[in-house]
Amino acid sequence: MALLTKSKYLAGLQCSKLLWMLVKAKDKIPAPAEDAQFRMDAGTEVGILAKQLFPEGIDMPTDDFMGNIYLTKDSLSENVPLFEAGIMANNCYSRIDVLKPNDDGSFDIIEVKSGTKVKKENVHDVSFQKRCCEMAGLKIAKCCLCFINNQYVRKGDIDIKKLFSIQDITMEVAEAQQGIRERIKEMSDVIRLSSCPSVLIGRHCDSPYTCNLKDECWGFLPGNNVFTLCGGGKKIAELFNNGARSIADIPDGFGLTDKQEIQKECEKTGKCHIESSGIKQFLDTLNYPLYYLDFETFSPAVPEYDNSRPYQKIPFQYSLHIQQKDNKTEHFKFLAEGSEDPRPALLKNLKEVLGAQGSIVVYNQSFEKSVLGDLARDFPEYQDWVNEILPRVVDLLIPFRNFCYYNPSQQGSASIKKVLPAITGESYEGMEIATGEEASIQFFQSHIKNKSNNKEEIRKNLLKYCCLDTEGMVLIVSELKKLLN
């Protein structure tokens, strides 16, 4: 019978179908998306760094399954921390990031995560490890989570002790262990099934992680399905469980919000919703010249530069379209060249082209404002300038978030990726880089880690993508104006 490993146990908590597929049909599970794989690789790097917290620790081999288990057993008496200790008992197996011995013969489990706080799934992770250790006859004294301290500010070389926080989660693990024997038995029964169990789709498909089987399991749904209901919350499960599949299936009198009613009506009629007064109110806030601005950023778990923090958004690129009242438009751009801190050059360049008057139009201002705010904090010489431009920021998201315009092709979303094709016919489809996450990963891998042989091609694709973000805003505003004519 297949082992129930830690990763399979966590999968089983999310979905029994996923658990069964991992054991019986792993080759049919799609590979992780690029962004998911990038995060996993970053987590591995964080785990390697965390070993420095335990300088006396020794590595157990990770490329030899049984060798890892045998060496772990032989090393338990060495009285030093063991990294990647393999524990197998009663058909359960777990590898411990750090198994730290105590003077009384007990051990502490220290699980390393690349997150910045203790999450529920982390506690379940450690609870399974503790159960494996106990079944193998080990006494576990404490359970801890080692994670990234997002308040750490890099100054020179990385200070490992300040980069990480270690939190005792022994009590939380004890709670999570309630019923663990029964859960392990249930999952073992699933593994033994000859056919895949049937599981209804739902919110668990994205919690705690988006399942790699989601596209397959959700493939029967129409495009505008009830899961696209804007702000649907608990209503979605109620609708789905009562047989509704399309937004158009929602019964009259169900108790929808105004926005949800608009979404439903548009789906039923196939027509757009246009609220002229709201669109006019937004357009009246624009003061020319208009500066359409978009940043691209990367957010490493381990800070790359002085005066930066874990997961801080580091801007490496911007696109800026400047439009005069007569619609004459110029385009300016910046894309960092090498692996050095891109922020000083980006700030200097942006200040030179961003005039002192006129609205700065962005899409989802919380992002651009947070980037600018961090820049002002980390480079005080620009603080006054940033404080002067922040009040000029206008959020193009507003009329779409407020459903002043809604096209059923948006599928309940107000993101620019949905709005741009809905209102202008332009789209990101077919582009080599088509999302902000792709841009971030491609730049980080090629410029910061030097892991790409086609750097110039990546730069070309980055410039094309970021340009469309701001050119798209120009086109969207133009279409909004036409709607009032």
- Structure confidence by residue, pLDDT tens digits, 418-455: 999 999 999 999 999 999 999 999 999 999 999 888 99
Q: With 80 as the cut, is the pLDDT of residue 184 above it? A: yes
Q: Which domains does the chain have, with CATH numbers?
A: 4-192 (3.90.320.10), 203-267 (no CATH), 279-484 (3.30.420.10)
Q: With 90 as the cut, is the pLDDT of residue 19 above it? A: yes
DSSP element (H, E) containing 360: strand 360-362
| pLDDT tens, residue by residue, 306-365 | 999 999 999 999 999 999 999 999 999 999 999 999 999 999 999 999 999 999 999 999
Mean pLDDT over 34-58 rounds to 95
| pLDDT tens, residue by residue, 445-461 | 999 999 888 999 999 99
Q: Are 93 and 86 in contact (CB under 8 A)?
A: yes
Q: What is the reported pLDDT for 1?
A: 66
Q: What is the reported pLDDT for 343?
A: 98
| pLDDT tens, residue by residue, 281-300 | 999 999 999 999 999 999 99
pTM, two decimals, is 0.94
Q: With 80 as the cut, is the pLDDT of residue 406 above it? A: yes
Mean pLDDT over 399-418 rounds to 98
Distance (Å, whole) CA 395 – CA 202:
32
Distance (Å, whole) CA 444 – CA 450:
8
| pLDDT tens, residue by residue, 152-172 | 999 999 999 999 999 999 999
Q: What is the reported pLDDT for 103?
A: 96
Mean pLDDT over 453-475 rounds to 96
Q: What is the reported pLDDT for 253?
A: 93
Q: Convert 285-324 to b/e letters by CB count within 10 Å (16 or more is b).
A: ebeebbbbbbbbbbebbbbbbebbbbbbbbbbbbbbbbbe
Mean pLDDT over 462-473 rounds to 98
Q: With 70 as the cut, is the pLDDT of residue 104 above it? A: yes
Mean pLDDT over 245-261 rounds to 96
Of the candidates 226, 286, 256, which has an alpha carbon nearest to the alpha carbon of residue 411? Answer: 226
Omega cis (within 30) before 289:
yes
What share of the chain in percent tops pLDDT 70?
Answer: 100
